[in-house]
Structure 1
Amino acid sequence: MNFKRGVRNEELEINFIPLIDVLLVIIIFLMVSATFSRTSELQINLPTADANAPQEKPLTITVEVDANGRYLVNGKEANGAVVSDLSAALTQAGADGPSGKEPTIIINADAKATHQSVINIMEASRMANYTHITFATQVNSR
């Protein structure tokens, strides 16, 4: 039933002007807030390979300590009860290498060795004037 006889129904239409206004504001905001980076090129001169003599392998002294406190310096047993004896063994092992180069002390301690035995090796290295000390580790494979 149509109670309004003379009134025509207007067609509904979408008003695009507010939508365009909002989109223009968003585009302007994005343009202002965006950072534009320029890619620049670096001028790099790469080195050429020359056939030089291989460098000398650095002198290493391996010090092993087991759970009982027994010390081995480069595979030779050392008396570790006194730090000065261990220092003398390190000095003797360092004298076998090239002169003028300080050796690297590699500490290979048993997992059940006491901390004091490792500290004794470090103190003996200090007394022998060896400052390059490193520790050997083992990867657990479970």
Structure 2
Amino acid sequence: MSLLVTRRRRRPELPLVPLIDVLVMLVLFAYVTMQARTAASLNITLPKAETAGKNAFKGSITIGIDAQGRLAFNGREVADNQLLDVLRQVKNIDREIPVLIRADETAQLKKATFVMDVCRKAGLHKFSLLVRE
């Protein structure tokens, strides 16, 4: 008499918890290491001036001009024809707010002059050109 031993076969399992842990770590790693590219990160190299003082303004707005002539208002890219409307809205809130113009050292003088002219048209007369020491 032979004994037949019948063993039940175990159902295959997929360990989900370790897989989810690995997936979460990959997503976290991707989020931490990615570079957020926004208009605020216009690649601007300020011109150098030996007589430059500290450029500490509180409560100011910043207009950036990169080497290609693109404009950024407080870090958001704006078109040339939108700048006047944006500055008029700012003037309605605070007409004494200083405007800081951050122009790349290779930007055309024509573009910086355009920004200064638009500031005057909007009624904002306190503007400065930001430089580095």
TM value normalised by structure 1 = 0.49
Q: Which moved more, 1:106-115 or 1:58-67?
A: 58-67
Within 5 Å, give how 1:1-142 maps onto structure 2.
58-80=58-80, 82=81, 85-95=82-92, 99-139=93-133
Q: Distance in 1 between matches of 2:90 and 2:76?
A: 10
Contact (CA 8 Å) 1:61, 1:90: kept in 2 or not? no
Equivalent position amino acid for 2:122 in 1: A
Change beyond 3 A, Cα 1:93–1:78: farther
Deviations 1:53-77 (A, max 9, x none): xxxx853110000011100011111
Structure 1: stretches of 5+ with no match in the other structure: 1-56
| Bigger radius of gyration | 1
Aligned equivalents of 2:63, 2:94: Cα separation in 1: 21
Q: Which has the higher helix share?
A: 2
Q: Distance in 2 between matches of 1:100 and 1:58?
A: 13
Give a deviation string over 1:74-100, Cα, whole Å, max 9, x none.
1111102x4xx21112223455xxx45
- 1:73·1:90 contact (CA, 8 Å) conserved in 2? no
Return 5+ residue gaps in structure 2 as ranges.
1-56
Whether the 8 Å contact between 1:106 and 1:134 is mirrored in structure 2 is yes
The percent of aligned pairs where both chains have the same amino acid is: 26
Assess if the C-alpha contact under 8 Å between 1:61 and 1:94 holds in 2. no
- Match of 2:62, SS state, is strand
Contact 1:79 1:86 in 2 (8 A): yes
Q: Give the TM-score normalised by the residue count of structure 2.
A: 0.52
Q: Return the offset for 1:138.
A: 1.0
Hey, what does 1:43 align to over in structure 2? Answer: none
Check 1:132–1:111 CA distance in 2 against 1; reply closer, same or farther (3 A cut). same
Distance apart, 1:134 and its partner CA: 0.7
Residue of structure 1 equivalent to 2:7: none
